Amino acid sequence: MEQVMQDGPWLIRNNPLFLKQWSTNTELKKEELKKIPVWVKMHDVPLAAYTEDGLSLIASKVGTPKILDNETTKMSLDSWGRSGYARAIVELDADKELEDSVTVAIPNVEEGGYLKSNIRVEYEWKPPHCKTCNVFGHGTDECPTKVKEPADKRDHVKESVDDQGF
């Protein structure tokens, strides 16, 4: 049971499933999610940065790195068989924008100095994000705090604008 709780986040048909330990004191209410773990793929990672520490530093530009997937860990330790991307679970913060790419400086061993490298970030699932509440779980358009005008009031405003010749 503990293994199932720790191995998430789980995606079933591209829908996230969040598990929480149940007890008799558990309240059945929807929690506001300020942080959420998501699988990300980091594309075009330079060979010099394809280590556990290097990948962790890159992932920290996206969110809080939690764990690399097994294949990425194997490749970073063996230093061979590198795939086209590195995959990790990163905890996203609702207060921050999602990054589509990150720029890192890699030490240039041959010539000295640094080389800039642009790493493309792909999210396996992008959670709905409300910029009004700064939470995950619903979009800004569906925000429960957003005041909605009644339909008849909108029609009345439109009619009065039309009457004025606009």
Tens of pLDDT, residue by residue over 90-122, are 999 999 999 999 999 988 888 888 989 999 999
Tens of pLDDT, residue by residue over 138-164, are 888 888 887 666 655 555 555 555 555
- To the nearest whole percent, how much of the chain has pLDDT over 90? 27
Report d(CA 20, CA 123) in Å as an integer: 23
User: pTM for the full model?
Assistant: 0.69
Residue listed under structure tokens 């558990």: 26
Using N-to-C axis directions, what is the helix angle for 70-78 and 52-59, rounded to 10°? 130
Q: Which residues contact 139 (CB under 8 A, 6 or more apart)?
A: 128, 129, 130
When comparing pLDDT for 2 and 77, which is higher?
77
Report d(CA 7, CA 86) in Å as an integer: 18
Q: Given this model, what pLDDT does residue 158 score? A: 54
When comparing pLDDT for 57 and 47, which is higher?
57
**Can you spell out the DSSP letters for 2-58?**
HHHHHS--EEETTEEE------TT----PPPBSEEEEEEEEES--GGG-SHHHHHHH
Classify residue 140 by its DSSP letter.
G
Report d(CA 158, CA 164) in Å as an integer: 10
Average pLDDT of the residues in 73-94? 81
